[in-house]
Chain A
Amino acid sequence: MYITLIFIAGIMVTVIGWLLRQTFNTQPWVATAEDNAVSGASLDANSKTILLAGFLAVATSLFGLFISAYSLRMEMPDWSPLAEPNLLWVNTAMLVLASIAYQWARNVAIEGRTSAVRFGLSIAGLLTVLFLVGQMLAWQRLMSEGAYITGNPANAFFYMLTAVHALHLLGGLWVWARSTIKVWSGAEADTVRLSVELCAVYWHYLLLVWAILFAMLINT
């Protein structure tokens, strides 16, 4: 539970600390011209950016809780570590490259280079699909070795965590597909810029989550 607590405490300290700062040195019962002039938007960010940040906080809580469940369950006597296939290293490389490709697509989208965005998005999507296919192959390999999900809690966690992570990527791919179809059917880079920027952040986040999960899975 400690891991989750640290995650959630971190998020809560950030949120509550920020909100508290808004409340210090204010006397709301005194109507001031200064207060009358504020816009009513607290953050200098696009609403969709805030939506993504909120979603990442939710996802962090979710993965943090899975990780803490893992660490608690691991201590029980029936745990026997799983030999993860080496294929996972290849998959990890795919995801790293996908993240880099998305970052590049983001950069060229900001520059307004539509054909480069098309190329960048396609590569990023392809690499992500390769990662997902690789994960399925890893599942297959484990099952062919007789490491079924019911065999041991370590196996069960492996299948579950990889599946949850993959589901998050699939959600990302849905947004990716929308912007990719848009640019391939002739839309300018500008029209997908925000979506590409946010997706790049989401891809980096899921890469980070995968790195943490992977490190945890192979070390225990």
Chain B
Amino acid sequence: MAYVAIADRDAQEYDHHEPDTFITKYVWSQDHKVIAIQYGMTAIFVGVIALMLSVMMRLQLGFPDSFSFITPESYYQFVTMHGMIMVIYLLTALFLGGFGNYLIPLMCGSRDMVFPYLNMLSFWVYLLSVIILLISFFVPGGATGAGWTLYPPQAIAQGTPGVDWGILLMLLSLAVFIVAFTMGGLNYVTTVLQARCRGMTLMRMPLSVWGIFVATILGLLAFPALLVSAIMMLLDKTIQTSFFMPAMLSAGEQLSHTGGSPVLFQHLFWFFGHPEVYIVALPAFGIVSDVLATHARKNIFGYRMMVWAILAIGGLSFVVWAHHMYVSGMNPYFGFFFATTTLIIAVPTALKVYNWVLTLWQGNIHLRVPMLFAIGFIFTFIHGGLTGLFLGNVTIDLPLSDTYFVVAHFHMVMGVSPVLVVFAAIYHWFPKITGKMYNESLGRWHFWLTFFGTYAIYLPMHYLGFLGVPRRYFAMGSTDFMPQSAHDLNTAITISAIIVALTQILFFVNMIMSLRSGKKSDPNPWGATTLEWQTPDNPPKHGNWGHDLPECHRWAYDYSVPGYKDDFIPQNVPASGDAPVGRDHGVHH
């Protein structure tokens, strides 16, 4: 294996100059842990806005024409902003900017990211993109209502809400976000490659790091596609070029656009859009693997296969994009090709699911809150994954396309599933990030209400999809194919959605109360093996490791090793001999 001789390495000097003012410590901070929290808080803040938007949508769908403040225009704005915020500004930012920032240096045994200044810049540019996005709610005409896919021509044609300013700000915000992501992403990749502690081979890294690492590579290569389409659409919008805009009449007048190709936009958008699914999913896969192994007190089943599956999914995710475009009138052979690649990607994904289940088998399962969320994820992910097999086949996709079946599928697979992992991760690392314990029973209530609540929302949606109920419609009115029971179902879904949204208050109450007056946490409350739990201070201080960097002596999954007193051996404990000074890990032969 290729590793650099230690003497040649850029020495990671121990930085004695800890930032001492409030501003340098908490605002213009270059510490990866502070930046992670800044990223996380911002992402969760916009995520809450997106959650409220979804409740407004559901109010209209469940109780049509009952709320005067929801007009057709505002409904489309809610749909669009909900989708875009959730996918990009919440999930991408939270998994990579939030967890990536927090976990990579700690799990790899580094002091910080390799380029701390660039890391700080990445957050502030991300915040700028969020501010631009939020401003679009308040400009004349409001935010764009083009749907999160922003398909032209309607995205920039008169009649779509927010066509004057909303769409401009959306495209600008996306471009700024991509700049922020690129700065952060290059940093994460370089840190994983170059700044691991001594003994941390790539194959000793926890799967969380693998997932975040490969997702970052995907993001770096895929986000340019979104940037290209955003730039070209901005030009179509502002100076009337015709990259995407065909010749068309608007309000009886011929527009100046000629001959542009809306399908070209779809290709570019989905060339980004599909890898984006895995940019969100791969970190979730990695994190859930670590949470499952830790709370089942068992090594992850098939570690190498898990790494290979992450790499295979990452590679394949670039050759499946057109399965989002089966109804765009493509050549049938083209569709056949993409259906095949789509079904192939199910192989490594299914392999991961089997391995998670086999990790649980004969494990010493502790059903603590993070574990509940992790197991919940296995359910929702299998569920959403299986409906993906339906939609991946062209002949089944055609009738189901643009129905609630699709909405149910992608919400299960890349909405609910990653969000359950987000919660698993927050509960799991809360004691490390804050040094306090969360409230267990509030956490359990949060889990069970969220888990059953989301099923109550999305299971019936599959049935609505089979009936042929189209997505994105403001109101269904009375139609022959929708019996009264389907309307009632819509009402029930809305009630569930409101309950699930309110349930999240439990989470915030728990976080805030535990932060203020939670029980002080043990440095390693779960008995986890990975390095972030072995820091000298809890929560870790600037520089993470005190004077000496840790050394890695084993892989990340030495749980329940026969012959040892404890059921875990931390990565920094040597194979024979004593535990590090001042700590008793109870290692005996």
Complex interface: chain B residues within 8 A of A42 (CB):
2-4, 193-194, 196, 202
Complex interface: chain B residues within 8 A of A12 (CB):
221, 314-315, 318
> What is the 8 Å Cβ interface bit string for chain A, positions 44-62, against chain B (1 contact, 0 not)?
1011001100110110011
Complex interface: chain A residues within 8 A of B4 (CB):
39, 41-44
* B135 at interface by CB-CB < 8 Å: no
- When C-beta atoms are compared, the residue in chain A nearest to B573 turns out to be A31
The answer to whether A19 and B311 have CB atoms under 8 Å apart is yes
Q: A8-B221, A51-B186, A77-B259 are in contact. Are A35 and B264 (CB under 8 A)?
A: no
One of A121-129, A148-156, A174-182 contacting the partner: A148-156
CB distance from A37 to the nearest CB of B (A): 7
One of A64-72, A89-97, A101-109, A130-138 contacting the partner: A64-72
* B383 at interface by CB-CB < 8 Å: no
The answer to whether A39 and B6 have CB atoms under 8 Å apart is yes
The answer to whether B240 and A150 have CB atoms under 8 Å apart is yes
> What is the 8 Å Cβ interface bit string for chain A, positions 10-50, against chain B (1 contact, 0 not)?
01100110011111001011010001111111111011001
| Complex CA–CA separation, A37 to B204 (angstroms) | 13
Q: A23-B308, A41-B9 are in contact. Are A35 and B199 (CB under 8 A)?
A: yes
The answer to whether A4 and B271 have CB atoms under 8 Å apart is yes
> What is the 8 Å Cβ interface bit string for chain B, positions 526-570, against chain A (1 contact, 0 not)?
000000000000000000000000011111011000000000000
- Tier of interface size on chain B: 35 or more
One of B41-49, B231-239, B462-470, B507-515 contacting the partner: B231-239
* B157 at interface by CB-CB < 8 Å: no
* B243 at interface by CB-CB < 8 Å: yes
Complex interface: chain B residues within 8 A of A46 (CB):
10
The answer to whether B201 and A35 have CB atoms under 8 Å apart is yes
Within 8 A of B (CB), among A165-211: none
| Complex CA–CA separation, A57 to B223 (angstroms) | 12
| Complex CA–CA separation, A35 to B200 (angstroms) | 8
The answer to whether A43 and B2 have CB atoms under 8 Å apart is yes
Interface size on A, residues (CB 8 A): 53
Indicate which residue in A54, A77, A153 contacts B186 across the interface (CB closer than 8 Å).
A54
* B70 at interface by CB-CB < 8 Å: no
Complex interface: chain A residues within 8 A of B307 (CB):
23
The answer to whether B241 and A43 have CB atoms under 8 Å apart is no
Q: A12-B315, A16-B315, A28-B304 are in contact. Are A72 and B201 (CB under 8 A)?
A: no
| Complex CA–CA separation, A101 to B203 (angstroms) | 43
Complex interface: chain B residues within 8 A of A39 (CB):
3-6, 8-9, 198
The answer to whether B228 and A20 have CB atoms under 8 Å apart is no
- When C-beta atoms are compared, the residue in chain B nearest to A76 turns out to be B259
CB distance from B575 to the nearest CB of A (A): 5
| Complex CA–CA separation, A72 to B575 (angstroms) | 59
Indicate which residue in B115, B196, B202, B239 contacts A22 across the interface (CB closer than 8 Å).
B202
> What is the 8 Å Cβ interface bit string for chain A, positions 142-166, against chain B (1 contact, 0 not)?
0000000110010010001000100
CB distance from A181 to the nearest CB of B (A): 19
Q: Could you list some 8 contacts between A and B, CB below 8 A?
A: A26-B304, A39-B6, A40-B9, A40-B198, A43-B2, A51-B186, A153-B241, A156-B241
Contacts from B to A (Cβ < 8 Å):
1-6, 8-10, 108-109, 114-115, 182, 185-187, 189-190, 193-204, 217, 220-225, 227-228, 231-232, 235, 239-243, 256, 258-261, 264, 267-268, 271, 299, 303-304, 307-308, 311, 314-315, 318-319, 551-555, 557-558, 574-575
Known contacts A38-B198, A50-B194, A57-B221, then 16 further A-B pairs from the complex at CB < 8 Å, ordered by chain A residue: A12-B318, A22-B1, A28-B201, A28-B204, A31-B575, A39-B198, A40-B200, A41-B4, A50-B189, A51-B114, A54-B186, A62-B227, A69-B228, A72-B267, A149-B235, A150-B239
Top 9 A-B pairs, shortest CB-CB distance: A78-B259, A40-B196, A62-B224, A38-B3, A28-B555, A156-B241, A28-B203, A39-B6, A31-B554
